[in-house]
Amino acid sequence: MSDTEFEYIWHSNVYATHQPFLEAYVRSTTGDILEFGTGDGSTGLLRHILAGTGRKLVSIEDNIEWLEKMKELYPESSEHKYIYLERRDDASHWKDFLSSYDHDSKISVVFIDQSPWEARLWTLSHFIKKSEYCIIHDADYYCQSTQSDNTLCYFTGENLPWTNENRYKFNLDKYKLYFPPAPWTELKHGPPTLVTSGTGHPIIDYNDILF
């Protein structure tokens, strides 16, 4: 598949509801992109947006089967590098990577969609002051799960509809929780996409997102 050939799937695939929001922030910036967890909804989209711009994409993955699939669809190039991490049961491979990785140019967006869930928190904590934006898919999980220990999010009103922003409170200075439009508005969880900037960059209004 070429980088100029891309089909949006957010309207038909619940795992890709982040696409409109990810695209908006990538297009509004000029630096490199880090992708934690490759996927049908992000890798091809990022390649499509960055094609011909000279910006770099680095995709980090710990599932070798999934990585090989992405490499076949979107071969590595001078502008796109894949990094494979050998998976450990305690997920410490993510911590080791975060502590040792050094990116030599500006990072505009860090897209966080890997597993396990705890690794997403580690990645956010590491890059929130090192990038312009961090974007996390399935962000409401952290309000639903006791595994999060309320380190990222908590409910302010559990009886409010899941699409009501006042239902959630994230322990972040500057953020926006984007809920996907139809056909996902009637689901219990869309899921929503969290965008945060720990470096003071502007948050895009929902009405300025192109669907």
Res. 1 pLDDT band, cuts 50 70 90: very low
The answer as to whether 59 is a domain residue is: yes
Question: Residue 75's domain spans which residues?
Answer: 14-140+174-208
What is the Cα–Cα distance from 60 to 52, expressed in whole angstroms? 22
Note whether 89 and 116 are within 8 A (CB): no
* DSSP-based three-state secondary structure for 165: helix
Could you tell me if residue 4 is inside a domain?
Answer: no
Confirm whether 6 is domain-assigned.
no
Q: Is 175 helix (H, G, I), strand (E, B) or coil?
A: strand
Residue 210 has pLDDT above 70, yes or no: yes
Q: Is residue 200 part of a domain?
A: yes
Average pLDDT of the chain is 91
DSSP per-residue string spanning 101-133:
---SS-EEEEEE--SSHHHHHHHHHHHTTTSSE
The answer as to whether 163 is a domain residue is no
Does 152 fall in a domain? no
180 dihedral zone (left: phi>0; alpha: psi -120 to 50; beta): beta
pLDDT single digits (tens) 140-176: 888 877 665 557 888 898 899 888 889 999 999 999 9
> Tell me: the pLDDT tens digits for 3-61?
556 789 998 888 899 999 999 999 999 999 999 999 999 999 999 999 999 999 999 99
Task: Report the C-alpha gap between 1 and 17 in whole angstroms.
Answer: 22
| Placement of tokens 């990785």 in the chain | 101
Half-sphere exposure of 97 (CA within 13 A, CB side): 21
- 150 within domain boundaries: no
Q: Identify whether 116 is preceded by a cis peptide bond (ω within 30 of 0).
A: yes
Total number of domains constituting the chain: 1
Residue 117: is its pLDDT beyond 60?
yes
The distance between the two most distant Cα atoms of the chain, rounded to a whole number of Å, is 50
- Any bridge partners for residue 162, and if so which? none
In angstroms, the CA 175 to CA 104 distance is 26
CATH number at residue 102: 3.40.50.150
Residue pair 117/36 in contact by the 8 Å Cβ criterion: no
Q: Do 24 and 203 contact (CB within 8 A), yes or no?
A: no
- Is 194 inside a domain boundary? yes
